[in-house]
Amino acid sequence: MVGLAVMGVGRVGGEVAYLAASLGIVDSLVLYDSATQLLRAQVLDLRHTGLETTISTEISDIKKADICVFAAGLARNPSVKSRTDLLSANLPVIQEGAGVLEGFSGILITVTNPMDVNNYYLCKKTGLPRERCIGFGGQLDSARFALALRNRGITGFPFVLGEHGEHQVPLFSALSQMVPYETRDTILSELRGASMEIIRGKGGTVFGPALHIVHLIRAVTDDVKDLVSCSCVPDGEYGISGCSIGVPARIGREGVFHIEEWELDGWEQQRMDEAGEFIGDLCRKTGG
Ligand code: NAI
């Protein structure tokens, strides 16, 4: 029996609840949202699927869940250019969430932006072991990287590390061919702007994040230990600590089973260092 709590059942959280239930990955749901009408509507809509998944809206049930997806808070709109611009708006939401999660001992998946900073904050404030705090975003960035490479006929293993945001680090050294620095920079700027077209066109990203989050949930429930690009709290890996940052991690029942340390080339290492400093600064500012 697997219980999933979803905090914030808007576009992403609602879709995750629906997908996880309809794919039979979870047996019970605990849904939570400050918008009570939306919460009730999501519960009813899910019940009308006829699925046998039990649904609770009791806040106190969140701490009993095996996995909690944290997707509550403000999302970007066309006038919010970067994810870090959401920091001050979402800090109160994260602070409140940390309180609700007191006593939770399952696996936390942080989605709310700026995701890396929020994952670190929630990890520190809830007292969860770092292995149990996984920030979501790297899988999505890696899928976008795969698309950018495919469009150029470049083959290889598409993986993005670093910040889920402007300081993301696509790994070109893991590809099967040399990619000139000029092309790297072009692809990086394409990746940075990848979600804005979706935000402008339909209000926000849904399918991509929801499906990847469900894959992450499955990696936990099935103890898969596959390599996933996700945000973890490193303890010196890549020379980084005091933040949460995108790294290659093996994810299983206990959360982050192992963080792999890959050799980066100069271009990648420089950007990874910058990402660590950038997120670390924000983490210190939020007092995580
Ligand atoms: P949304 O606006 O559709 O849903 C957010 C929900 O959070 C709303 O239903 C709102 O009522 C609820 N909420 C706000 N404050 C709350 C509080 N204090 N307590 C409980 N619920 C609260 O937004 P969407 O598109 O689902 O995005 C959610 C978050 O996830 C945003 O911060 C967005 O930037 C982020 N995001 C992150 C991705 C990633 O790859 N890490 C991908 C897509 C979105």
154-177 pLDDT, tens per residue? 999 999 999 999 999 999 998 999
What number does the ligand 1 atom closest to the CA of 9 have? 9
Q: For the chain, where are the E strands, in sequence order?
A: 3-7, 28-32, 54-56, 67-70, 107-110, 133-135, 160-162, 168-170, 226-232, 245-252, 255-259
Distance from Cα 261 to the centre of ligand 1, integer Å:
31
Amino acid at 249: A
Residue ID of nearest Cα to ligand 1 atom 19: 34
- Ligand 1: centre distance to CA 69 (Å): 11
Give the closest residue (by CA) to ligand 1 atom 38.
111
- Predicted structure pTM score: 0.98
103-141: b (≥16 Cβ within 10 Å) or e: ebebbbbbbbbbbbbbbbbbbbbbebebbbbbbbbbbbb
Cβ(115) – ligand 1 distance below 6 Å: yes
* Ligand 1 lined by 17 (C-beta under 6 Å): no
Please work out whether the CB of residue 140 comes within 6 Å of at least one atom of ligand 1.
yes
Q: Is 94 in the pocket of ligand 1 (CB under 6 A)?
A: no
Judge if the beta carbon of residue 203 lies within 6 A of ligand 1. Answer: no
Q: Ligand 1 centre from 71 Cα, in Å?
A: 5
Q: Is the CB of 6 under 6 A from ligand 1?
A: no
- Output the pLDDT for position 45: 98
Of ligand 1's listed atoms, the one at least distance from the Cα of 90 is 32
CA of 27 to the centre of ligand 1 (A): 23
Would you state the structure tokens that stand for residue 270, as one six-digit string? Answer: 């420089």
Joined tokens for residue 107: 């696996």
> Average pLDDT, stretch 14-19?
98
Distances (CA, A) of 232 to 47, 54, 250, 267: 34, 31, 11, 22
In this prediction, residue 269 carries a pLDDT of 97
Residue 40 tokens, joined: 């009730």
- Pairwise CA distance, residues 247 & 282, whole Å: 18
Digit-coded pLDDT (tens) for 26-67: 999 999 999 999 999 999 999 999 999 999 999 999 999 999
The dihedral sign for the CA sequence 72, 73, 76, 77:
positive
pLDDT value of position 284: 96
- pLDDT at position 56: 98
Element (H, E) at 89: helix 87-100
CB-ligand 1 contact for 137 (6 Å cutoff): yes
The C-alpha angle with vertex 41 and arms to 107 and 29, in degrees rounded to 5, equals 25
Res. 258: pLDDT tops 90: yes
Taking the C-alpha atoms of 62, 65, 66 and 71 in order, what is their torsion angle to the nearest 10 degrees?
A: -40
For a ligand 1 pocket test, name from 19, 32, 34 the mutation site with the most ligand atoms within 8 angstroms of its C-beta. Answer: 34
**Mean per-residue pLDDT for 242-270?**
97
